[in-house]
Structure 1
Amino acid sequence: MPRIRPLSRRRILAHIPLIAAAGFASSLRAAEPPEQDIADMAADAVATGVPPALGMIAIENGRLGTPSAFGVEARGRPSAASATGRWHIGSNAKSMTATMVARLVEQGLLDWKASLADLLPDVPMREDYRAVSLPDLLSHRAGLARNSAAGLAAMPDDDPRSEQERRRAYAAAALTEPPVGPIAVGAGSYSNTGFFLAGLIAERATGLPFEALMRRELFVPLGMTSVGFGGTPPGEIAGHSKGGPVYGAAGDNPDFLRPAGGLHLSLADWGSYILDQMRGQRGEGRLLRAESYHFLHRPQPGSNNGLGWGLEAAPGGKPMWSHDGSNGRWFGIVAVLPDEQRAAMVVANAAGAEVEAVVNRMVVRTLGLA
């Protein structure tokens, strides 16, 4: 069993660019799967060890299918990956953060129109950011860097502060940096920092840690009992870094960045969440009013970004919600065709270009997009 070491600041700086991944739709043109059964495609991929394991689940006609898993829990170990095991989904969890914030808006604890200056009154910030709104943060249109170099530099090795204290320090540093792009205009610039700030704001509004908020507002209402935060624990499916399995703290990015995507869960629970997003669009969701789901899935002005979702159309012009995500040890994609009540979720316990190509092909084939 590998020794789990806490992430030092140097290790954080090495890993943190890998917390985020871009949208899925833009890669479709390059995805031309061979005429091969999806299960055979997955089996062939894991037989090469790239990746060690794949998990997938689909929704057809508004019904959640049976999860499937292929390969082994960890490279060099014989235990088969279980379809009921837990998988890290990286930035695919961003829409979950956005949905939690929408719940707080419906409860009157937050306001979509409130400014960052009002939401974080004790955090110093550049004038550029004072009028930024929650939708700007959650659609990558706040002008913030993907990851804050100043924020990470404010995190010393073996930092004794609480997760919440570190979040405030990161925010204060990040908001001193100049914008990297326009604010509330056009497509924006992909930013983990925006989701981090939204999570901090939710904590401030409720007095609860981000993890407790997510459980209260999403996971408990949807019966998602498998969710854990950070890397998967020893004895479960492992993420992989530099060819070897990693668990716990070594298997994920730092805990204070979890609002940008830092959880693992079963395929069935991931599918249950996506199914609720689809049903909510039809006024049948369990978490929000229909207008709130519509707002999450509506492009922000001049962009293809919803709140936690990419909204580029699929081939043929079909509406599609999609995202992909990686923390450098895992890679996964979710793609949803809401008008057809269909979706595909595929995740691998490794990252890299070869892994991304396999996962992409499986999603494309599952949804018949190429």
Structure 2
Amino acid sequence: MKRVLASSLCLLAFGAQAQSSSWQRTVDDTVARYKLPGIAVGVVEDGKVVYATTRGETLAGSGQKLTSKSLFKIASNSKAMTASVLARLVDQGKLRWDDPVTKHLPQFAMFDPWVTKNMQVRDLLVHNSGLPEGGGDLMLWPEPNTFTRGDIIAGLKYIKPAYSFRSGYAYDNLLYVVAGEVAAAAGGAPYETLVQREVFDPLGMTRCKVGAFDRDAVGDVAQPHTRGENMQYKPGDNVDGTQVPAITSAAAGGIRCSLDDMLRWMQAWLAPDAQAKAWLSDAQRKEMWKARTPMPISGRRVKWDHTHALAYAYGFRLADVDGRWTVSHTGTLSGMYSAMVLLPDQRSGFVFMINADADDTRTVLSEVLTKQFTKPDADTTIAPYADEIEAEWKQAEADAKPHTKPDGKREVLAAPFDPKRTGTWRDPWFGTVRLCPVNGRLQWASEKSPLMTGHVVTVDGQWRIDWDEDRMDLEAWVDFESGHMRMRKVDPEGDFSSDFEDLDFTRTGDCSP
């Protein structure tokens, strides 16, 4: 009997060691394939942390190694924390999910007055408002800018809907900012204070930060990286200064956490201890994970994961993967990517954070780590998925439409400049821009978003903005018609947060000295 028990324990230990080796190999292969500057990865299995590792540096070349306490921007993984603040306030009787938004923010208004009247707190979280995808995101990014949360609430009524209220899905960020302000109004404290009070403190997430902080006093802060020449990573233009400012977009994507903290966050959902159980009622946990808005399912998801259902909940995405229920989200900011995937029925899941632009990396690593739970006997590796995505990119380049192929003849727009086009122009939600001569060139400059400054060039005779800042990686065409100035992305498949198409400027005056 003792020999049988000993053999069983040995088998269990061998299985755990083999699984750990599998995760280790996956991380090693990912770092090698994509030449990442840094990554933090953690795995929870049956409620327990069974694997955690960090690779690389907080800033390439700095010599400061990443640790499990290094802070990463978790970007849109912040949304679930914002939703949790609201859920806590519901538990406390300070608001209801079906409260009209105007009950807490009387100044709130959407383009359609009927939508304004009928939009409830829950609607702020589930991307079915009618706003176009990424609508108004130019008030959030690029950072820093001077748009306030009040500007966002005031600007929403000027953004034209792309579809009927509650009739479809289009990802937005502005309404999460509004949700943070609803929480502040109901909770009687600024959003940043509420997140600390309602999430970080009760769950023991001691390193997470939201709002302003001193980088050097906090220490061990991962910095963003972007692709440079020869596809090598370099520090991004948005590396933190000594004083990290509070940002308007915090409720949509402005929280920073360490790997240790994110593992605590996962366990609070997968296997809550007494403290975590007391943190949020069972009723609100169920509310948080109810499917609210159906989402489109890509061909890749069908092929790779056999997914039949995909929906947005309160700050989480729900999907079936290989017959298993998953709860997940991703985070994307310039130079920072993250992903968290939970498998509640197995009380298991994983999280990782990368301090680099890493879209393909995230897709591949998420897939392989998920398969280790949904198909543990398949010996899934990085290479086949990475090869497939690389082949897709090459095919897309070969099939690119003419307007996304390399530029035609590009020339600096020369004087004299058309006085009907120069001057100050105003969009009702984005504010004023100047289109005026500066040092012999025609400059386009935003009043509230200083990084959005560039010069007019022509490409085959068409006006185009050549941005001064590299982080403005999507250039825009400029069109004039019937007294209006409109804009559109040069690459129509570019990031939706560069929502130039939602702008509609009218001329307000001449260029001043």
Question: C-alpha deviations, 1:24-67, integer Å up to 9, x for none?
Answer: xxxxxxxxxxxx83323323443466321111111111123342
Match of 1:207 among 177, 184, 188: 188
What amino acid sits opposite 2:119 in the alignment?
V
Alpha-carbon distance in structure 2 between the residues aligned to 1:252 and 1:143: 34
SS at match of 2:158: coil
Question: Is the 2:127–2:293 contact (alpha carbons within 8 Å) kept by the matching residues of 1?
Answer: no
How many Å apart are 1:135 and its aligned residue? 1.6
Alpha-carbon distance in structure 1 between the residues aligned to 2:193 and 2:245: 19
1:307 paired residue number: 314
Alpha-carbon distance in structure 1 between the residues aligned to 2:49 and 2:374: 17
The answer to whether residue 202 in structure 2 is matched with residue 221 in structure 1 is yes
Alpha-carbon distance in structure 1 between the residues aligned to 2:140 and 2:370: 40
How many Å apart are 1:110 and its aligned residue? 1.3
Match of 1:96 among 78, 81, 94: 81
SS at match of 2:206: coil
Question: Is the 2:83–2:315 contact (alpha carbons within 8 Å) kept by the matching residues of 1?
Answer: yes
Alpha-carbon distance in structure 1 between the residues aligned to 2:292 and 2:93: 22
Q: How many residues align?
A: 328
SS at match of 1:226: coil
Counterparts in 2 of 1:341 and 1:277: CA distance versus 1, 3 Å: same
Match of 2:324 among 318, 321, 324: 318
How many Å apart are 1:140 and its aligned residue? 1.2
What amino acid sits opposite 1:86 in the alignment?
L
Counterparts in 2 of 1:40 and 1:203: CA distance versus 1, 3 Å: same
What amino acid sits opposite 2:352 in the alignment?
V
Question: TM-score scaled by structure 2?
Answer: 0.58
How many Å apart are 1:336 and its aligned residue? 0.7
Alpha-carbon distance in structure 1 between the residues aligned to 2:199 and 2:32: 36
Alpha-carbon distance in structure 1 between the residues aligned to 2:161 and 2:54: 42
SS at match of 2:320: coil
For 1:100-111, list aligned pairs within 5 A: 100-111=85-96
For 1:86-165, list aligned pairs within 5 A: 86-126=71-111, 127=113, 128-149=115-136, 152=139, 159=146
1:168 paired residue number: 150
SS at match of 2:42: strand
What amino acid sits opposite 1:308 in the alignment?
G
Question: Is the 1:59–1:344 contact (alpha carbons within 8 Å) kept by the matching residues of 2?
Answer: yes
Alpha-carbon distance in structure 2 between the residues aligned to 1:158 and 1:276: 35
How many Å apart are 1:69 and its aligned residue? 0.5
Match of 1:238 among 205, 209, 223: 223
Alpha-carbon distance in structure 1 between the residues aligned to 2:334 and 2:245: 9
Alpha-carbon distance in structure 1 between the residues aligned to 2:183 and 2:109: 18
SS at match of 1:65: strand
SS at match of 1:229: coil
| Superposed CA RMSD | 3.3
Question: Is the 1:69–1:82 contact (alpha carbons within 8 Å) kept by the matching residues of 2?
Answer: yes
The percentage of counterpart residues that share the same residue type is: 23
2:453 paired residue number: none
Alpha-carbon distance in structure 2 between the residues aligned to 1:205 and 1:193: 19
2:354 paired residue number: 348
Alpha-carbon distance in structure 2 between the residues aligned to 1:150 and 1:92: 17
How many Å apart are 1:365 and its aligned residue? 4.6
Question: Is the 1:38–1:362 contact (alpha carbons within 8 Å) kept by the matching residues of 2?
Answer: no
What amino acid sits opposite 2:136 in the alignment?
A
Counterparts in 2 of 1:346 and 1:151: CA distance versus 1, 3 Å: closer
Question: Is the 1:103–1:217 contact (alpha carbons within 8 Å) kept by the matching residues of 2?
Answer: yes
SS at match of 2:119: coil
What amino acid sits opposite 1:208 in the alignment?
A
Question: Is the 2:324–2:374 contact (alpha carbons within 8 Å) kept by the matching residues of 1?
Answer: no
SS at match of 1:298: coil
How many Å apart are 1:115 and its aligned residue? 1.5
2:248 paired residue number: 256
Counterparts in 2 of 1:152 and 1:50: CA distance versus 1, 3 Å: same
Question: C-alpha deviations, 1:53-97, integer Å up to 9, x for none?
Answer: 111111111123342111222222333211232222111121111
Question: C-alpha deviations, 1:145-202, integer Å up to 9, x for none?
Answer: 444438729999864x8xxxx101111102321222332234x211111211100111
Question: Is the 1:115–1:130 contact (alpha carbons within 8 Å) kept by the matching residues of 2?
Answer: yes
What amino acid sits opposite 2:83 in the alignment?
A
Question: Is the 1:53–1:348 contact (alpha carbons within 8 Å) kept by the matching residues of 2?
Answer: yes
Question: C-alpha deviations, 1:201-240, integer Å up to 9, x for none?
Answer: 1112223111110000111001111011369936532221
Question: Is the 2:137–2:174 contact (alpha carbons within 8 Å) kept by the matching residues of 1?
Answer: no
Question: Is the 2:107–2:154 contact (alpha carbons within 8 Å) kept by the matching residues of 1?
Answer: no
* Largest Rg, 1 or 2: 2
Question: C-alpha deviations, 1:328-368, integer Å up to 9, x for none?
Answer: 21111111110111111111111133432453245335434
SS at match of 1:185: coil
Alpha-carbon distance in structure 2 between the residues aligned to 1:283 and 1:83: 22
The answer to whether residue 269 in structure 2 is matched with residue 277 in structure 1 is yes
Alpha-carbon distance in structure 2 between the residues aligned to 1:154 and 1:47: 31
2:343 paired residue number: 337
Question: Is the 2:293–2:313 contact (alpha carbons within 8 Å) kept by the matching residues of 1?
Answer: no
SS at match of 2:249: helix
1:177 paired residue number: 159
2:471 paired residue number: none
What amino acid sits opposite 2:316 in the alignment?
W
